[in-house]
Amino acid sequence: ETFTLESYRYIFSANTFVRSLLVTIMVTIVGTIVQLFLTVTFAYPLSRKQMPGRNALLNLVIFAMLFSGGMIPPYLVVKGLGSLDTYWALILPGAISPFNMMIIKNYFQELPTELEESAKMDGCTDIGVFWRIFLPLSKPVLATFSLFYAVGIWNDFMSGLLYINDSTKWPIQVLLRQITMSSSAVNAMGMMDPNYVPPEQGIKFAVIIVATLPILVFYPFLQKHFTKGMLVGSVKG
């Protein structure tokens, strides 16, 4: 009947919720950096036509785009690496998206080769050309895929469900599932405050809003680059 923020105060008073939120923030930041780094450093060599074995690697990437191993092989790989119940299990299985990598490769490939040649004439190494020439020109596409990766990691539910058994390491999406599916959201979050308990439906909706809000807040800062990265495929020389 009246506006109140008691549900938000209540969920933030729970160590379970705050810990889960911090886990998700940490995994999203680290995961985005790792995934973008691996994707870009794989895409750039494949964009160079003189690279030995380039066609074989491209065929493997295309194969990975078309066919998926399903759920069991990634689980066996994560288990074999000893990464179960670790935060790396939420990051490494999807460290490189073949589709995203191919788009970034095509972006690099469209950059004028004259830029690379002139940089090498000035004494730049291959790494120097990549770092000083290609990365600065690729800010729109890098910002776009940073957003894609961040949203994907933040919303990732299956990785936490499959690889994390320790409830203290659950990301926010797994905790959200426990809350929405539990007969008592209060019990699911480990709330023990007997003095005041907001309506259970209010607790569930508050958790959903908090789990959604960070991405909505983050997007406007990248909107300019996002639009450019999606629509522009050529280079400003």
Mean pLDDT across the chain, nearest whole number? 82
- For residue 38 the two structure tokens come to 């691996």
Per-residue pLDDT at 185: 52
The 10s digit of each residue's pLDDT in 135-184 is 888 888 888 888 888 888 998 888 988 999 888 888 988 888 887 776 55
Average pLDDT in the 51-57 region?
88
Q: Are 96 and 35 in contact (CB under 8 A)?
A: yes
**Quick one: pLDDT band at residue 236, thresholds 50, 70, 90?**
very low
Per-residue pLDDT at 138: 84
Asked if residue 234 has pLDDT above 60, the reply is no
Per-residue pLDDT at 183: 55
Residue count (the chain): 237
Asked if residue 24 has pLDDT above 80, the reply is yes
Phi-psi domain of 190 (left: phi exceeds 0; alpha: psi -120 through 50; beta: other):
left
What is this structure's pTM? 0.81
Comparing 196 with 107, which gets the higher pLDDT?
107
- What is the sign of the dihedral through the CA atoms of 186, 192, 194 and 195? negative
DSSP type of residue 53:
T
AA letter at 61: V
- Measured in degrees and rounded to the nearest 5, phi and psi for residue 142 equal -70, -40
Asked if residue 37 has pLDDT above 50, the reply is yes
Rounded Cα distance, 117 and 188, in Å: 60
